[in-house]
Amino acid sequence: MNTTNESDKQNTAKQIITSDLTQFDWPELVAELNKYLRLRTTPIGMKMFESLEEMAAIPKLRRPSAIHTTDQIVGQASRNGWTVGITMDDLVGAQCGAVLGLHPRDEQWLSGDRMAGVWYADQEEASKHQHSMDLVPYGRFKGMVVSPLVSGRLNPPDICLIYATPAQMILFINGLQWTGYKKLEWGCVGESACADSWGRALAKDEPSLSIPCFAERRYGGVMEDELLMAIPPRFIPGVIEGLARLSRNGLRYPIPGYGVSNDVRAGMGVSY
């Protein structure tokens, strides 16, 4: 492990997570997202807590009575509309906790021994996977809460989680790129894809798209055709403005089929 690079990543993440953010009108913002994208899954927020007392002060907070995966906790917010707080004691194992910085990224975890021969050919391959994951630095946070954005109970959340179909998601990204354009590039760790979404967004403070993994779909209720965008809240107003401008240009969801055999010039003349 490159300790210098790891230290740099942890310092960056610490600076990002402590940055001051503005309060948002979440009912209005979510209504706008639904107007342009017709989302079928509840947009939620995720927030890390250094103090369990501070976490416990969140209104209408539910605490698990059983052991869960983080995928299930996220699903309880996005599928059931609950506000749920967890600590490491509520999670089934180190893989879930390490992504949120609630479990150390120690040598045993890095070995990947529990994934060897199951998800990867051998321990060497499994260890490469563990080393590739984006994680919240360990040692600072005690708990995490997820809640529907419209509740306003996490205002602001550290990140927003938006589930969408590929057609909805590309328009979301088009809205994001309307101004301040940059090429967006993401990776895929395979299993443990939560590291690609909420792990990466918390650690790097930037929009992070993932293909939800087997565990997210089996335990978290993620549907077959859903992608997940984890995004710091400050980007959301700009996404909505971009979606509005695209809509005025006739670029909106659902994307109407043009036909594979029609003369393309009339359609292309409007959109390109």
Q: What is the DSSP string of 125-143?
A: HHHHHHHH---PPTTS--E
Give 268's pLDDT tier (boundaries 50, 70, 90): confident
Quick check: 6 pLDDT over 90?
no
Asked whether residue 12 is assigned to any structural domain, the reply reads no
Phi then psi for residue 235, to 5 deg, are -80, -20
Q: Which pLDDT does position 22 carry in this prediction?
A: 64
Say which residue, 8 or 105, is predicted with more confidence: 105
Asked whether residue 5 is assigned to any structural domain, the reply reads no
Give 19's pLDDT tier (boundaries 50, 70, 90): very low
Q: Which pLDDT does position 12 carry in this prediction?
A: 38
State the average pLDDT over residues 129-157: 97
> pLDDT digits over 171-184, tens only?
999 999 999 999 99
Asked whether residue 55 is assigned to any structural domain, the reply reads yes
State the average pLDDT over residues 180-197: 97
Asked whether residue 105 is assigned to any structural domain, the reply reads yes
State the average pLDDT over residues 241-268: 93
User: What is the domain range of residue 183?
Assistant: 20-254
Quick check: 9 pLDDT over 60?
no
Quick check: 20 pLDDT over 70?
no
Quick check: 30 pLDDT over 70?
yes
State the average pLDDT over residues 231-258: 96
Asked whether residue 148 is assigned to any structural domain, the reply reads yes
Asked whether residue 62 is assigned to any structural domain, the reply reads yes
The CA radius of gyration of the chain, in Å to the nearest whole number, is 19
Compute the mean pLDDT over every residue in the chain, rounded to the nearest whole number.
92
The CA distances from residue 129 to 69, 99, 140, 245, in Å, are 19, 13, 24, 40
Strand, helix or coil for residue 52: helix
Asked whether residue 267 is assigned to any structural domain, the reply reads no
0.85 surpassed by pTM:
yes
Q: Which pLDDT does position 2 carry in this prediction?
A: 42
Say which residue, 264 or 7, is predicted with more confidence: 264
State the average pLDDT over residues 43-59: 98
Residue that is written with structure tokens 């509840």 in the block: 42
Q: Which pLDDT does position 88 carry in this prediction?
A: 98
Least confident of 1-15, 132-146, 184-198, 207-221: 1-15
Q: Which pLDDT does position 25 carry in this prediction?
A: 95
State the average pLDDT over residues 149-164: 97
Give the chain's domain count.
1
State how far the Cα of 86 lies from the Cα of 83, in Å rounded to an integer.
10
Quick check: 235 pLDDT over 50?
yes
Asked whether residue 3 is assigned to any structural domain, the reply reads no
